[in-house]
Chains A and B, each alone.
Chain A
Amino acid sequence: MPEPRFRSRTFKRVKKKLPGGSTVTHYEKRRPKQGTCPVTGETLKGVARERPTKLKSIGKSKKRPTRPFGGVLSSRAARDKIKQEAREQK
C-alpha cells in the first residue's frame, strides 16, 4: 500500500527498473495543462508546458511566441484586438 500522502491522484505512478533488476514505483508530480485563450477558448500554441523548476532552465523565447499578446491570447484574438485599437485611433 502506498503512503497516505501518495494515495492522491495528483501523483502519477511510474515504474522504474533498478540496476539490481528489481522494479520500484516512483511517485512523480504531473505536468500542468496547456493554456487556453480567455477570448476564444482555443489552446495556446507555442507555450511550454512544464513544472516551474524545469521552466527556469528553458529560454525566454522558447516559452511563448514572440509577438504581442504571445502566450496570453490566441493569434486570432490578438489580431482582432490590434484591429480594434487601430480603428479607435482613427
Chain B
Amino acid sequence: MYEIGRLCVKIAGRDARLKCVIIDVIDDTFVMIDGQTRRRKCNKIHIEPLDKVLKLKKDASHSEVVSVLKKEGIEVVDTKPKKATVKPTRQLKKKETPVKETKKPKVKPVVKKEESKPVEKLDELVVEDKKTDKK
C-alpha cells in the first residue's frame, strides 16, 4: 500500500487536504513525501493513500515529481523561500548642540618697566660745572 510512487492525501497538519507522492520508505512508520507539500518525512498515520501509483524512481527530484503530477492534472505551487531582507535602520537625527563660546581669559599686556636712573642732585651738578669752568 505505502510504496514508492503511491499518490496520497495528507490528513493532518497545516498542509492537510494537499496531494503528495511517496518517494522513499524509511521505516515501518515513516515515509518520505513530496508534491504539493514540502519535501519531508511523514508518519503513515497522517496520510491517506489513493488508488493511483505514479511512475517515479526512488528519491526523485522535486522537478520530476512536479512534472509527473502535472500530467495527472495536479498543480503544484512552489513557494519560494523568502530572502532575509535587511531591515532599514532608523537614523536618528543628531541634535545640534549650541556651540558655547568659550571666553578667552583676559591677558594683561606685560609692560616692561624701564629701570629708572637715579636722579642726580642739581646742586652737585652745578658744583661740577663750576669746577670745570675754573680750569
Determine how close the nearest CB of chain B comes to the CB of A35; give it in whole angstroms: 20
- Tell me whether B13 is interfacial, beta carbon within 8 Å: yes
- Tell me whether B128 is interfacial, beta carbon within 8 Å: no
Interface size class of A (residues with CB under 8 A): 10 to 19
Find out whether the CB atom of A82 lies under 8 angstroms from the CB atom of B50.
no
- Tell me whether A79 is interfacial, beta carbon within 8 Å: yes
B residues contacting the other copy or chain, number (CB 8 A): 10
Q: What are the interface flags for B17-31 relative to A under an 8 Å C-beta threshold, 1 for contact and 0 otherwise?
A: 100000000000000
Q: What are the interface flags for A60-90 relative to B under an 8 Å C-beta threshold, 1 for contact and 0 otherwise?
A: 0000001110000001001100110111011
Chain A residue, CB-CB nearest to B16? A68
A contact set with B: CB distance below 8 Å:
66-68, 75, 78-79, 82-83, 85-87, 89-90
Name 24 A/B residue pairs within 8 A (Cβ), A-sorted: A67-B12, A67-B13, A67-B14, A67-B16, A68-B16, A68-B17, A75-B12, A78-B16, A79-B11, A79-B12, A82-B9, A82-B16, A82-B17, A82-B48, A83-B11, A83-B48, A85-B17, A86-B9, A86-B11, A86-B48, A86-B50, A87-B48, A89-B50, A90-B51
